[in-house]
Each structure stands twice: as structure tokens, then as C-alpha cells.
Structure 1
Amino acid sequence: MNNYETVFILNPVLSEDQMKDTVQKFVKVLTDNGAEVVNEEQWGLRKLAYPVQHKSTGFYNLVEFTAAPELVDKLETEYRRDEAVMRFLTVSLDKHAVAYNEKRRKGAFNKKKKAKEEPAS
């Protein structure tokens, strides 16, 4: 079992419910094929760096999971079949990336939190 992280951008014309249903469809593809979803984040509607399919914004989503390498091909095939997906990228994580993601989830890099902890002079 390897660690993976996938980010996909959904079409901005989807409603909030349609967007959530689409994300759950891809999470279900993972779990039905024996993957364990470690983390799931919805980054919301963001501006794209350049227009994609004549759209300047998109719904960004991140899913971190552990799975067998063969499952990545199945997941990416599902991305290609779904017209709501504008772009996607799946990467394999090494041990350093896994450790970084764990720290990030626990808030170790949260600047606002650190600013409150420092004593005022």
C-alpha cells in the first residue's frame, strides 16, 4: 500500500450539492476498491492561473489516501469520464511528504496560532 494525494478541479457551474456529490463519488471509488482515505479537504471556489475550458474559476478538492498502485489508474479513468472534472493530478507521497501532511493537519504551520502563543512585549 502506497500513500497518494490527488487534487482535482471541478467545473464552477456546479451547485454546492452537485459538487459534494461528485467528490463523494470519487471517494466511493477509492473506498470500494480497498483504499483508506486519510484526509479529504474542499478548498472551495478559487481562481485558476489560466482559463481552462473557458472558465476562470473552479472548485478545488484534495484527497489523501493509501492504496495499491493499480487503483490510481481506475481513479484517473473515472476523472476522465466525468465531465465535471476540469483538471486532476495524483502524486505518490514519500515518507517526508506524509510527515509534512500530518503536521499540516495538526496545525503546526498555522501562523495565526503561533502569533497568539508568543508573549506580547
Structure 2
Amino acid sequence: MNNYELMVIFTPVLSEEDFKASQKKYSDLITELGGAAVHSNPWGLKSLAYPIEKKTTGIYWLFEFQGPSDLNEKLKIQLLRDEQVMRHMITRLDKYAVEYNHVKRNGGFAMQDKQPQEA
């Protein structure tokens, strides 16, 4: 099982309920295809770097999961078919990225900043 990160930009006209339903839809799809959810991080409404489909904002969602490599193609097909998805990106994470995400989620970096420095 490989580790992946899925970044999705949904259209900004979605209601909160529709956004949550879309998150659940894709996390359930990943589970059905043999994957396992690791962490879900909805970022919410953000400005886009450039207009997409004449829209200047989008609703961002970051999802970390584990799964077999053939899962990505099936997931990609569903994302491309969905009219609510403006953009998506699936990134394979190496062991360092997985460790970094784990430490970041658990607040490990804030603790390192507070350690006393030697003179």
C-alpha cells in the first residue's frame, strides 16, 4: 500500500452540506477501492491563483490516504466526471512526507520551537 495525498478544489457555489457530502463520497470511494483514509483536512473557501471557469475562489480539501497504485486511475476518472470539482491533484508521498504530515498533525513542530537554545 502506497501513501497518497489528494488535493481537490471544488466549485465555490457548494453549500456546506454539499461540500461535506462530496468529501464523504470520495473518502467512501477510496475505501471501496481498497484504500484506507489517514486524514481529512477541509481548508474551506480560498482565493485561486488564477481564474478557473471564470471563478476566482474555490473550496479546498486535502485528503491523505493509503491504497494500491491502481486506485488512482479509478479515482481520477470519478474526479474528472464530477462537475463540482474544478481541479484535483494526487501526489504519492514518500516516507519522509508521511512522517512530516504525522508530526505536523500532532503539533510536533510547535514543541520543537519552544526548546531552550544552548549558548
Describe the shift of the 1:74–1:114 C-alpha distance in structure 2 as closer, same or farther (beyond 3 A): same
Structure 1 gaps of 5+ residues are none
1:35 aligns with 2:35: yes
Shift of 1:105: 0.6
Shift of 1:51: 0.4
Q: Which residue of 2 aligns with 1:83?
A: 83
- Match of 1:64, as an amino acid? E
SS at 1:14 equivalent: coil
1:34-82 Cα offsets, whole Å, 9 max, x none, are 1110001100100000000110001100110110000011111110010
SS at 2:22 equivalent: helix
1:59-112 Cα offsets, whole Å, 9 max, x none, are 1001101100000111111100100000000010111111111111111234xx
- Match of 2:47, as an amino acid? K
Structure 2 gaps of 5+ residues are none
Question: Counterparts of 1:36 and 1:52 in 2: how far apart (Å)?
Answer: 31
SS at 1:65 equivalent: strand
TM-score under structure 1 normalisation? 0.90
Shift of 1:118: 7.0
SS at 2:14 equivalent: coil
- Match of 2:16, as an amino acid? E
TM-score under structure 2 normalisation? 0.91
Tell me which stretches of 4 or more aligned residues in structure 1 moved more than 6 Å. Answer: none
- Match of 2:12, as an amino acid? P
